[in-house]
A and B are shown apart, each in its own frame.
Chain A
Amino acid sequence: MLPFEFLFEYLPLVLNGLILTVEVTLFGIFVGLALGIVLAIGDMHGGKVVSTLIRFYVEFFRGTPIIVQLFMFQYVIPGMLHLPTNTYVTAFSVFALNSGAYQKGYVKGAMEAVFEDQMMAGLSIGMSKVQTIFYVVLPQALRIVIPAWSNEFCSLTKSTAALAIIGLLDLTGAGWQIMGIKYRVLETWVFVAIIYLIWITIVAKIADTVYERKKIPGIEISA
């Protein structure tokens, strides 16, 4: 009898947990990317006030643990403003905002690497600043960002385990539930761990393929 057979009756629970984990991760990473781009541009061209606001935002989300951020959005802010709480809203918004803070750093770094020269070149052919950012600077910056972005993807996935702490039934939450019911604790957690590993390996493979397809021929970017 396989050590994991007992888990098969809980497969639906685990699968639903995995789906939630994947949903939050994908939402977080892509909304985070959009946010990161907006914030990077805002920081570079927005003026002092905008830059300072962005700085506080980034410092908060990069300086505190994800658990604190989840509690902030689940208890503190609703507590202060007397809003109703919704665990799902908290989950999705926190991870999007968190990822956005990190991705802003990567995007800004990548943009600054190409900005000066390429902006001059763009202006010299008669494009406006906005056009140059959109058609020249961003396409190059986003390619440079890919290795850091795939790192962020993995990081984000691991952080989603914290969702179990605010009571959501993600993959970790499923494991926690099973642990409470069955005696076979070690097997449960090893099983959960393996699923995470498989998911992360798939993600890394996808990121590598994206990198191969999208890279600028002739230029190798070291991760």
Chain B
Amino acid sequence: MLGGVTTTLAISIFSLLLGLAIGLPLAFIRTYEKSLGFFVDVFEKVFRGIPELVLMLLFFFGVGMYFRFPFKIALFTAVFVLGLRSAANQSQIFRGAIRGIGEEQMVAARSLGLSRFRSIVHVMIPQVFIFSTPGLGSEYALLVKDSSYAFVIGVLDIMFTTDMIRKATFDFVAPYIAAAFLYILLTFPIATWFDTWGSRRKKTLGL
């Protein structure tokens, strides 16, 4: 069962990071480069509007038929799908944070002579992070839970191992209760810690 936990955690964390890597730039592009806005919107609509399970099945069985590598690697497809979904979500979260911080910070940075890119990296991004902690915390929890869809395409996560145990012991009760506990343990503490860290940071910076 514990092997399953590592896999679940791995999926969640990698998806979060992938989502971060794509979502953060997307949020800034959507805010500051209106011409590309349409594409970002389409991306968000697609990856937030289609169920994660359907996307996984689509890529694993569908695309996987034509591109055996890498889509037939269940773990890859899971992280790929969840990562893109997370990117769409995080793009929204960060956009909200950017809106909350307001124009003034960018204006102030530019007035000092910083290029648009530099302003974003050194001034906006740190603040965006601090503002986004609640959203990111819940996104992480969401990823942990959605990682469970991966067991359908054969990933050895918590659900898969639970099922294996169930098939071996014919016990329908205990394995699932254990799985439930594991998931709760994985979601709540970290999400709350993230939230508290964020609030503390906000307080010290007087935001």
Chain A residues at the B interface, C-beta cutoff of 8 Å:
59-60, 62-68, 71-72, 75-76, 79-80, 154, 157-162, 164-165, 172, 175-176, 179, 185-190, 192-193, 196-197, 200-201
Contacts and interface: CB of A to CB of B under 8 A. Distances in A.
Interface of B: 45-46, 48-55, 57-58, 61-63, 65-66, 141, 144-149, 151-152, 159, 172-173, 176-177, 179-180, 183-184, 187-188
Contact of B55 (A64, A164, A193, A200): A193
A127 B141 CA distance: 42
A157 B50 CA distance: 9
Nearest to B159: A67
B173 A79 contact: yes
B54 A66 contact: no
A188 B62 contact: yes
Contacts of A63: 141, 145, 183-184, 187-188
A127 B148 CA distance: 49
Nearest to B55: A193
A79 B172 contact: yes
Contacts of A165: 53, 152
Contacts, number: 114
Name the prevailing secondary structure of the A interface residues. Answer: helix
Contact of A162 (B48, B53, B144, B188): B53
B53 A76 contact: no
B51 A197 contact: no
A197 B176 contact: no
A45 B85 CA distance: 38
Given A62-B141, A71-B176, A188-B62, 18 more contacts: A59-B184, A60-B184, A63-B184, A64-B145, A65-B147, A65-B159, A67-B151, A68-B183, A154-B48, A161-B52, A161-B149, A165-B152, A172-B54, A185-B61, A186-B66, A196-B50, A197-B45, A197-B50
A201 B41 CA distance: 13
15 contacts: A59-B188, A62-B141, A65-B159, A66-B148, A68-B148, A72-B177, A75-B176, A79-B172, A158-B50, A160-B51, A161-B149, A172-B53, A172-B57, A176-B57, A196-B50
Contacts of B53: 161-162, 164-165, 172
Nearest to B48: A154
B156 to A, nearest CB: 15
A189 B159 contact: no
Contacts of A66: 145, 148
A197 B183 contact: no
A65 B145 contact: yes
A61 B151 CA distance: 20
A192 B54 contact: yes
Contacts of A80: 173
A186 B58 contact: yes
A188 B61 CA distance: 10
Contact of B148 (A59, A65, A197): A65
B191 to A, nearest CB: 9
A66 B53 CA distance: 12
Given A65-B146, A154-B49, A176-B57, A186 B65 contact: yes
